[in-house]
Amino acid sequence: MAALHASRDPWTHVVRLLEVGSDEKAGLERFRRVKESDPQAIDSSATTKVSVTGRTTERTVTVMWCNPTIGYYGAQTWCLRFAQEQGICQMSGEEIRPGDSVFRPRCGSPPPINAKAMILARNVHVPPIEDMPVKARAAARSQMTRRRREAKPARQARK
C-alpha cells in the first residue's frame, strides 16, 4: 500500500489505485471491512445524494441513490416498511427510531450495498398512485405485474 502513495504524479497514482481496485473480490472485502468497522459509513448523509424519482405502487417508490465512495443506483425500488433499528434518514438527516415508517431498498440475493439505507416516509413527496395521470398509473401497474410474473418462476424453482 505504501507504493501506492509513493508516486507524486496524480495520473500514475489514479492508475495504480484502479489496478488495485480492479479485483472485484478484493473490493468487496474492503467494503465489508469498512462496513463492519464503521456501520454509519453507509448511512453518511453528507456524501450520499438521494432523490425519489417516482412511485411504482402504493407501497414502492423509485429512488436514485448515489454515494461516490460506495456506489450508484439510478432507478432502485424502495419498499415501505417499519424501521427495525435506529438509523439516519438519507434525505433529511433526521434520526429514525424503530417503528417509524420508512422506505428501504428492495433486497435480493446478494443484497444491495445500500440495503441498510432508509428514508422517512414523511419525507417522500411523490403523489399517491391514485393521483397520478392515467397513463403513468397504467405504466406503474404494468411494471408491477411484469415483476410479479418474472418473480413467479423463481419462487416456484425454490420450492
Sequence spans of domains, the chain: 1-37, 45-126, 127-159
pLDDT band at 17 (very low <50, low <70, confident <90, very high): low
What pLDDT shows up at residue 139? 64
- Amino acid at the residue 11: W
88-105 average pLDDT score: 94
Where do we find the cell 489505485?
A: 17
CA angle 7, 10, 14 (to 5 degrees): 90
- Give the three-state DSSP class for 140: helix
Residue 131 DSSP class: G
Q: Give percent above pLDDT 90 in the chain.
A: 30
- C-alpha to C-alpha distances, 32 to 36, 65, 139, nearest whole angstrom: 6, 19, 38
Where do we find the cell 454515494?
A: 67
pTM here? 0.57
Q: Give percent above pLDDT 70 in the chain.
A: 54
Model confidence over 31-72: pLDDT tens digits? 555 455 444 445 455 678 999 988 888 899 999 999 888 888
